Amino acid sequence: MSVFRIPDGIIDDIHSLMANYWWGQKGTERRIHWRKWENLCRPKEDGGMGFRDLKIFNKAMLAKQLWNIHIRPTSLVARLLKAKYHPRTSILEAKLGWRPSYVWRSLMGALDLLNFGSRWRIGSGEEVRI
């Protein structure tokens, strides 16, 4: 989940299996689902069961990988991705590019989440260009 974007169909199947397990469905016997899956994914404090929405969790894990690449630019994977997909920019300004791999497409799908939650600080001022 932290490297590949899991297709929505597979995530929906996993959610269905979790719901069927939770409500005790066996074989073709169908039992009543007392709450919608979206309500079960809400935090316990808000009346839900605290289940994770795997689509959101998958995107968060991909954004975490992007952050790790951003803060560790000398790592092997960061250098490899930089050489192939964004040689003249940082990972935060990278574009999808031409014929990207599934890993790169997955990571770029979470870039908006990373940019939304990022803030720039001056800090010590050593890297500020004036």
Burial classification of residue 60, based on how many CB atoms lie within 10 Å of its CB (0-12 exposed, 13-18 middle, 19 or more buried): middle
Are residue 59 and residue 113 in the same domain, yes or no? yes
In a domain, 27, yes or no: yes
Host domain of residue 40: 8-52
In a domain, 128, yes or no: no
In a domain, 122, yes or no: no
Checking if the pLDDT of 24 tops 80, the result is no
Are residue 36 and residue 65 in the same domain, yes or no? no
Give the relative orientation of helices 54-71 and 8-23 as an angle to the nearest 10 degrees: 130
Are residue 36 and residue 90 in the same domain, yes or no? no
Are residue 26 and residue 46 in the same domain, yes or no? yes
Are residue 32 and residue 63 in the same domain, yes or no? no
Are residue 30 and residue 72 in the same domain, yes or no? no
Checking if the pLDDT of 45 tops 90, the result is yes
pLDDT digits (tens, 9 = 90+) for 52-107: 889 999 999 999 999 999 999 999 999 999 999 999 999 999 999 889 999 999 99
For residues 91 and 100, the answer to whether their CB atoms sit within 8 Å is: no
pTM: 0.82
Number of domains in the chain: 2
